[in-house]
Amino acid sequence: MAERTATDGQLKPATAPAAIDHVDVWVFDLDNTLYPASCDLFAQIDDKMRSFITELLGCDDIRAREVQKGFFLSHGTTLRGLMDFHGVDPHDFLAHCHAIDHSVVPPSPALDRALHALEGRKLIFTNGSVRHAEAVVERLGVAHHFEDIFDILGDRPLPGLLPTTAFAGIRGFDTI
């Protein structure tokens, strides 16, 4: 949060609104949230998922895409479907899918300042891997703000449910 002062036009940290001044833990979604969607990292990851499935099943790109999207819809993630139906090692899948060009993520001094202005613990949750998240926040120049990263390999009770309170031992009403 920042505000422009009337006298010099410079961005200065704003006072937290009363509705969030009790927050002591901030959980940030990584993908297309901390970095701009215009970086198009997911297009690279999507291509990597398709190539992984093509190789795994010995099928063409069209069939691989059907499998990929089918598992996403039926299992919440492509990875969960591949694990359940094909015994895929999640570490192998994530290593393959996140071997992408992170150089398209630009540094973000504005994000650095905004994170600095937030008091409390800062955590990241990602449907990707810790290694992917680390690469992104390093490129953004904001890695030093985050205490921990929780990835898709963490325990998820059901597809689509995020363990936003259980994964860090935090209380939901003190967390955004």
Q: Which domains does the chain have, with CATH numbers?
A: 20-35+106-174 (3.40.50.1000), 41-97 (1.10.150)
Region for 19 from its dihedrals, namely left if φ exceeds 0, alpha if ψ lies in -120 to 50, beta otherwise: alpha
The pLDDT of residue 176 is 52
Contact 47, 34 (CB under 8 A): no
Lay out the sheet containing 148-150: strands in order across.
Answer: 25-29, 121-125, 148-150
Distance (Å, rounded) from C-alpha 15 to C-alpha 133? Answer: 29
Up-side HSE of residue 141: CA atoms within 13 Å toward CB? 10
Asked whether the CA dihedral 139, 39, 45, 68 is positive or negative, the reply is: positive
**Per-residue pLDDT in tens (0 to 9) along the chain, 176 residues:** 444 444 455 555 555 555 667 788 898 999 889 999 999 999 999 999 999 999 999 999 999 999 999 999 999 899 999 999 999 999 999 999 999 999 999 999 999 999 999 999 999 988 899 999 999 999 999 999 999 998 888 754 344 445 544 555 555 545 45
Distance (Å, rounded) from C-alpha 119 to C-alpha 138? Answer: 21
pTM for this prediction: 0.77
